[in-house]
Amino acid sequence: MSTLENNISALLTKVQRNKPLIHNITNVVVTNFTANGLYALGASPVMAYAPEEVADMAKIAGALVLNIGTLSTAHVEAMILAGLSANEHGVPVLLDPVGAGATKFRTESALKILREVKVSLVRGNAAEIANLVGEAREIKGVDAGDSADNENAQLGLRAARHLNAVVAITGKEDVITDGQVCRVISGGDAMLTQVTGAGCLLTSVLGAFAAVEKDLLLAGTAGLAFYGAAAARAAERTASVGPGSFQIAFLDELAKLHPHSLKGYSAVAEFPAPAAGGTLK
């Protein structure tokens, strides 16, 4: 195994051993699935939304995950309170800008959080990320189609430099970059697109890895790789059935992950980032 592969594998053991507390301010559609997925991985989820307690909860968490899927002004204010507390106490903040670009309120809320809170990692699909950096891209509801992998890589690089954060763009292949290095992670399965909350859970899983590793590019890479491997393994088991069986099998596979689970199910390719305006080789 390469050094990168060894480092990725070691992080799973750290998550399972440390059981980091992940504070989620997430959307009502995915709360149960997110909690179960984090438990399966080995992390400890907490869902705390009240403005009266979010700052206290954020400061004791291993990571704070902000998800704007079901949005209200009160939720945004609670997210900012939690984010500022996390910033003050050295807790990484992750943002899932669900549906950014679909409505003015949704886009402006995501940008408000980014202005007022130091967000360390942003995960979204290509349309969501594009709309965060002023590159209008069509989005339907909270879903968007894939772009070509190289196009997503270029977008990720621009977004990471613009937002001063690690950016993960998920699709048929996932891209993650800190603006200096770009990694493409293959794996996963299209069945994930038929499970509500699969992307939201992924952001929280990235939070679990970020809680045990300060290098958020490495943490994000590990989270994407292991998530994709669990999905590929679950799809293999449920190919003849459907999304309901896949969802249960996926949680099972998250619980069964071990440091060698990536072999044959997920792969990471790394590329040095070109200067602004350049293209990946």
Using DSSP's 3-state secondary structure scheme, residue 74 falls into helix
> Over the stretch 169-193, which tens digit does the pLDDT of each residue have?
999 999 999 999 999 999 999 999 9
Q: What is the pLDDT of residue 145?
A: 46
Structure tokens at 115: 């202005």
* This prediction's pTM: 0.93
Q: How far apart are CA 157 and CA 162, in angstroms?
A: 9
Q: Is there a domain that residue 279 lies in? A: no
Q: Is there a domain that residue 175 lies in? A: yes
Q: Is there a domain that residue 277 lies in? A: no
Spell out the residues 6+ positions from residue 273 whose beta carbon is closer than 8 angstroms to its own.
157, 177, 179, 180, 181, 182, 280
Q: Is there a domain that residue 60 lies in? A: yes
Q: Is there a domain that residue 278 lies in? A: no
Q: Is there a domain that residue 19 lies in? A: yes
Count of structural domains within the chain? 1
Q: In which domain, by residue range, is 213 found?
A: 3-272
Q: How far apart are CA 33 and CA 200, in angstroms?
A: 9
Q: What is the pLDDT of residue 281?
A: 52
Q: Is there a domain that residue 281 lies in? A: no
What average pLDDT does the segment 104-130 reach? 97
Q: Is there a domain that residue 280 lies in? A: no
CATH classification of the domain holding 31? 3.40.1190.20
